[in-house]
Structure 1
Amino acid sequence: MIQSHAHNREHEPAMVTLALALVTGYSLGPVAIIPLWSLAGLLMATAVATFVPRLRVHLPAAGACLGLVYGAFLAILAVPALRLTGPAQVGIFKLVWALALAFACLATGATTGDLLPELGTISRRGWLGALVAFGLLAGAYWWFFRTPLAALRPTGWALVAGAAYRALAAGIMDEFIFRGLLLGRFLVANRALYAILAQATVYAMLYMGFATPGIGSFVLAFLLAMVTGYSVIRTKGVGWAFLVHGTYAAFMYLV
């Protein structure tokens, strides 16, 4: 079972709220007015966190959550030009949120073991190098979609490369944030089943409400998060979660 180190226990309430806020921003990546959405995400995360007994000290802030979230959502609907489109832009913003999450965790006292425990001790330079490498990949993907090649239906190696990128992007970044960090935070103060349900609900709510609207996406995202979350608990690592999520993302890209 993933657990936090004892000397970081004093950071737990702030870390869980921070993680929830950042994964909300991660899901809201396609939206250009990120500052407003990040604030809305923070308040929505606080509301979700009130269901975790350890975090009920944040209850007074939860009341302002829904109004701001729906206000921002309606603003986007009213002004379509504020929304960025295309998978490349989404990937870039997701990368930014993942970087912010990693550095925030390191800055607030969380260790690399709290992020991906099964990988053991990894230096900050190692994490930074891995994130920069992924950033270069995302940058290349973004550049491709700004060229005339993007208008063509990918075939052959281009199709394979696109599927591979989706598998890496979704498998690594989603599992890194939701199952590598968020599930670990929930496990600190909750039983394994409740922790899995909590992270799956947050994951599905975000993807249903903003990334891919619709009840169908909620069901698929919830089931995917339950399966990958359970695999993390059973195997004490995120390897299988990476594989399952990456395979699913590649399949959805190909079809």
Structure 2
Amino acid sequence: MSISIKPNTTGLIFAMREEQEGLQTLITDQELHHIAKRSFIQGNLWGHPVVMVLAGIGKVAAASTTSLLIHHFQVNQLLLSGVAGAADASLKVGDIVIAQELLQHDMDASPLFPRFEIPLSGKSRFSAQQDLSLDLQKATQAFIQEIHQHLSAEQIQEFQLQNVRMHTGLIASGDQFIHDKQVLNHLKQALPDLLAVEMEGAAIAQVCEEHNLAFGILRTISDSADETAHHDFQSFVKNVAAPYTLGILKNYFENKNE
């Protein structure tokens, strides 16, 4: 299998097919590569080389896919966009969180190592690359100002998206779909600055750090990570989170400097 390596390529990872809804049709000059039971779509998006892939759900799937993007396609940065559950009372459904730090909330090798610390690494938190994070923040703020261009008035009303806000801070990942308020409260007690919970970001962050690769994690709040978390979840991902991704990535790539 021959893969043509393009400089300054961005890897785009998604955990669920619904999260990348509509994006594939916008990628030009497409080349399809099948590696390790995954389909990688290589091409150009708003004038920039990209490789898009559906990783699957969970930390192992995310880490494996990240490694494939690095070694087979030599991406120079990686972006993950998808949904997450809110872990802070200041966030509401439809808000956007851009990770500054990520950790694995289900990592616990105590008493040999402190809770959350990755054994033998000496750290529990992985920091996103600042310049990339700032660019994503600018793209997100611009999207919020033009949200009516991407979602219908009916969608905005249905999901109460009249006052969408952007947040930056800590996102925690684990192989668990959190839908229990008690579980979430225990996490929040251990991590007071926690903003959101999901299932992939921290694994991607760890692999990227090991390879000195810039990464950005962008999450749309789909639920409150409590007993109501499954309500209208698929509808929200397809009809809200996917248009968010399209709009924010468009702003990001159209303003990205080579």
- TM (norm. structure 1) is 0.27
Task: Identify, as 1 or 2, the structure richer in helix.
Answer: 1
Q: Of the two structures, which has the highest relative contact order with CA contacts closer than 8 Å and spacing of 6 or more?
A: 2
- TM-score, with length taken from structure 2: 0.27
